[in-house]
Homo-oligomer: A and B are copies of this chain.
Amino acid sequence: MERIRLGMVGGGQGAFIGAVHRIAARLDGQYDLVAGALSSSPERARESGLALGLDEGRIYDDYAAMARREARLKNGIQAVAIVTPNHMHYPVAREFLRRGIHVICDKPLTATLADARRLVKAAEDAQALFILTHNYTAYPMVRQAKSMIEAGDLGSLRLVQVEYVQDWLTEAAEETGSKQAGWRTDPARSGPGGATGDIGTHAFNLAEFVSGLKVESLAADLQSFVPGRRVDDNAHVLMRLEGGARGMLWCSQVAPGNENSLRLRIYGDKGGLEWAQEDPNYLWFTPFGQPKRLLTRNGSGAGPAAQRLSRTPGGHPEGYLEGFANIYSEAAAAIRAHAAGEAPPEDVTYPDVHQGLRGVGFIDACVRSSRRNGGWVTL
């Protein structure tokens, strides 16, 4: 099976998420990275491209030029990964989408709600797919959880508790030279949300994805604990979901001892589920009135939804990169089906531009609610 020709915008040397996307694209052997505008600095773009083994002729420092040229090349890229800061997602995506090049874009969708709406339009108008890398949705045991809820194992859902907790911004890292901290706490590049945008959107997306319920309204209390910080670094959010379910969402970047503690708990009138990103091969299932059960990836009790995204037997832990690679594999299946003029296989699923819009809507709602002293706002 021929590999999909992939380009990348952003992700030059020193960037974290670009390297993750490249590993994810490589892991299952479905993509070849063949072009890139890895930096807007020509020199850095070139160095980064060469280090990745790109042909000199396909190293760009201008994403628009890249889009134009690759669209004309006989063996031009079929898809592009966008791993820039948030404010660039829309303009970059637009250039590729309008030329029929599929876009695999990092989250959140955009820095502003206006851009998000424009991007939805652009994606809807395009002859190309748009995939948003809410990577946590592609962990096997997250799929297992979703499938169990769909099967009714939890009964009617009542409660959704989700949190994503970090500690890396406990101090003012943005003032001491951290490039990551710099753009992620800069509203111009990151958007109005800090923790809400960077990790809250993941938590929000995961909660909706697994529960299958949309958040209808929320009440948020946002804080910037670190003096001088321009965006929130902690958020407490109450949620009301479809069908009467309620929930809480906590995201924080100032809770010492937490690395990437994304944790989801969902309860219905028949049972509960609990999953933690840092130990992703486990899923607790707690049917009411029965002993707790620990399901393991590819172990007893894990069904086809988990198995199709697993590579190794139970007890051989798969982690973050495998989950990320699953998004790329889902995308590959969809891209191949698209090329063949077919619908993607039924079990293929990935976060799209509409989920992306909901994420940006979540940030917006958090900021609006918090400004109104935590009043409820609809999403």
Contacts and interface: CB of A to CB of B under 8 A. Distances in A.
B234 A159 contact: yes
Contact of A254 (B23, B159, B281, B314): B159
Give chain A's interface residue range (CB within 8 Å of chain B): 35 or more
A246 interface: yes
A312 B321 contact: yes
B26 A27 contact: yes
A88 interface: no
A259 B296 contact: yes
Interface in A125-182: 158-159, 161, 166-168, 170-171
State the copy count for this chain. 4
A317 interface: yes
Contacts of A161: 250
Interface string A279-292: 11100111111111
A212 interface: no
A312 B316 contact: no
A276 B293 CA distance: 18
A315 B166 contact: yes
B376 A376 contact: no
Contacts of A238: 219, 221, 236, 238, 374
Interface stretch (A57-65, A70-78, A263-271): A263-271
A368 to B, nearest CB: 15
A260 B291 contact: no
A291 to B, nearest CB: 4
A379 B19 CA distance: 45
A12 B6 CA distance: 28
B376 A373 contact: yes
A20 interface: yes
Given A168-B313, A221-B238, A238-B238, 19 more contacts: A22-B29, A26-B29, A29-B52, A166-B315, A167-B272, A248-B248, A255-B267, A256-B271, A257-B272, A258-B272, A258-B315, A277-B315, A281-B319, A291-B293, A292-B293, A292-B294, A312-B321, A316-B320, A317-B317
Interface of A: 1-3, 16, 19-20, 22-23, 26-29, 51-53, 158-159, 161, 166-168, 170-171, 219, 221, 223, 225, 234, 236, 238, 240, 246-248, 250, 252, 254-261, 265, 267-272, 274, 277-281, 284-296, 299-301, 311-322, 373-376
